[in-house]
Amino acid sequence: MKLPSEFEEKMKRLLGDEFPSYIACYEEPRYYGLRVNTKKISVEDFRRICPFKIREVPWIENGFYYNGEEVSPARHPYYFAGLYYLQEPSAMTPASRLPVEPGDRVLDLCAAPGGKATELGAKLGGRGLLAANDISSSRAKGLLKNIELFGIGNVLISSEEPGRLAEFFPSFFDKILIDAPCSGEGMFRKDRKMVKAWEEHGPAFFSKIQKNIILQAASMLKEGGMMLYSTCTFDPSENEEVIAHLLRERPEFHVCPIDPYQGFAPGRPDLVQNGDPSLADTVRIFPHRMHGEGHFLALLQKGKQVSGPEIKEPLKRRNRKLPEELEKFLEKLKIDLSPSRLDIHGERVYYMPEGLSDIRGIRFLRTGLLLGEIKKNRFEPSQALAMALKAEEFDQVISLPCSDERVVRYLKGETLNVEDLVSPSQKGWHLFCVDGYPLGWGKLAGGTLKNKYLPGWRWQSV
C-alpha cells in the first residue's frame, strides 16, 4: 500500500527501530472484532451459544476476534437481538478503561455511531444516566438505533456542539469519554479511504478542534470525576499535545495510569514541548505490538476523589393518573417502574433516566426509554422497549430456536403461523424471541402472529 511520504517520515521518527515491523503490518490482514453486550448476556453464555468461531481479545473482558472473511455476524439473528456490537478490537479499549459504575452520570461527547456508548451503557446496568452526544445529527440517528438495539434506556441522546452542552451541564458528570474526531492514521491499514481523508484534513486541523473539545468536556466533569480521551491516530499533536494543553489550561487535572496490557506502549512526553512526565502514563496502541489497529488513550481525573458513590435523586415528576390502556399494558411487565419517572408527551410514553436535569434548549433525539404510544385508546409498545426487556419480564412470550426459519421471516416483517406454539385462546401482545432473547413485538390472534417488528430495522435480503 502506498502511504503518503510525509506520514512515513513521521512514523520513522516516532518508532525508530520499530518502523520496519510497523510497516510490515500493512501486508497482514485487518482484525475483525465483536464485543458482547453484557447487559443482555454473560460472556460465558455467549461463548456457549456463539454460532461461529471466536477467539478472545486478550485485553478486553468481553471482546472477541472473528474471521470477517468467512462469517458475517451482522447477518445473524443474535445481532438483531443486540447480543453484540461489531467493533475493531483496539476501539474496544477506551470504554473498557473508563471505570464506570452503575448509577454514574456518564457523558460520551463524540458518540456516533455508538461503538463506545453502547459499552458504557451496558456497564451502567440500567442505573444512572448515559448522555450520548454527536455534533452530526445524521450520525446521531445511527447512534440512537444502536443504543436502542443494545436495550439501553437510561439515556439522553443529543446532537449538540460540546460548548452548548457545557452551558447545561457544568460540573455534572462523574465520567466522560471523548473519542475525538481525528485524522485517523491508525485506521490506514483497515480502511484505505482514510488516507485520502487525511490528505484533506491532517493532524493540524484536528488538533485545534480537539483542544477545544477537551476543555469544554473538562468543565462538565465533577470534582473527582474521570475522563478518558482517545483517538485513532498517531500524531502527537492530536494526542500527548492535547493532554498537555488540558494540563496547562486546567491544572486541577492529572493523568492516571491505565489498566495495563503487555502490548500497550507508553505515551511520549518527549514529543511535546515541556511535556509533563506523567504523559508517559497515557497509552499508545500500535498494530505491530498487538493485534489491533492504532489508537491513543489518556485517563484523566479532575482534582481528588470525593466521598463514595453518591445516591442520585431521580428527577421528580408529578404523579398523575395514567391512561387506562397504559396501566393495563404495564401490568404485563414484570419489572418495577417508578411512576414518578413516567413521562407522557402527546401520544408517546417515556421512562426517564435517574437524575436528568432540565434540558429544554438542547437539541436532543431521545430522553429515556420510549415505552410506546397511546393510539386510539390502545397502547402500542415500542421496539426500544422490546429490546430493553428480558424474556422473563413480559407475561406473554414466544421464543423460537435460531434454527427455526420463522426467526428470519419475523425479522423480514412477515406474518407468522405459530399455532404449534400457543393455545388457541392466547391473544394480544407477545414478545417474540430467538433462543430466549427478545427481537420485537407481535400481536397474536387465532394462532397467527401479526408482525410488529420495526420496519426500518428489518432484515434485508442480499
Ligand X SMILES: C[S@@+](CC[C@H](N)C(=O)[O-])C[C@H]1O[C@@H](n2cnc3c(N)ncnc32)[C@H](O)[C@@H]1O
On whether 112 is known to bind a ligand per the annotation, the reply is yes
Which C-beta is closer to ligand X: that of 213 or that of 433?
213
Q: How far is the CB of 110 from ligand X (least distance, A)?
A: 3
User: Strands 348-351, 378-381: parallel, antiparallel or unpaired by DSSP?
Assistant: unpaired
Question: Within 10 A of 256 (CB to CB), how many other CB atoms are there?
Answer: 17
Burial 35-55, CB ≥16 within 10 A → b, else e: bbbbbbbeeeebeeebeeebe
Q: How far is the CB of 43 from ligand X (least distance, A)?
A: 20
Q: How far is the CB of 49 from ligand X (least distance, A)?
A: 25
User: How far is the CA of 327 from the CAs of 118, 317, 323, 339, in angstroms?
Assistant: 30, 17, 6, 11
Element (H, E) at 84: strand 84-86
DSSP helix/strand/coil, 430: strand
Question: Within 10 A of 288 (CB to CB), how many other CB atoms are there?
Answer: 17
Which C-beta is closer to ligand X: that of 83 or that of 213?
213
Contact residues: ligand X, CB under 6 A: 109-116, 134-136, 139, 162, 179, 181, 209, 213
Which C-beta is closer to ligand X: that of 77 or that of 203?
203
Q: How far is the CB of 94 from ligand X (least distance, A)?
A: 8
User: How far is the CA of 194 from the CAs of 134, 158, 210, 232, in angstroms?
Assistant: 20, 27, 18, 11
Residue pair 91/295 in contact (Cβ under 8 Å)? The answer is: yes
DSSP helix/strand/coil, 167: helix
d(CA 375, CA 352): 21
d(CA 58, CA 374): 47
Distance between first and last Cα of the chain: 31
Q: For residue 50, indicate whether it is catalytic.
A: no
Name the residue with the smallest CB distance to ligand X.
115
Residue of 50, 182, 232, 433 with catalytic role: 232
Which C-beta is closer to ligand X: that of 147 or that of 255?
147
Which C-beta is closer to ligand X: that of 95 or that of 129?
95
Q: How far is the CB of 135 from ligand X (least distance, A)?
A: 4
Question: Within 10 A of 347 (CB to CB), how many other CB atoms are there?
Answer: 12
On whether 358 is known to bind a ligand per the annotation, the reply is no
Residues acting as catalytic residues: 232
- Which residue numbers belong to the known binding site for S-adenosyl-L-methionine? 110-116, 134, 179
- Which residue numbers belong to the known binding site? 110-116, 134, 179
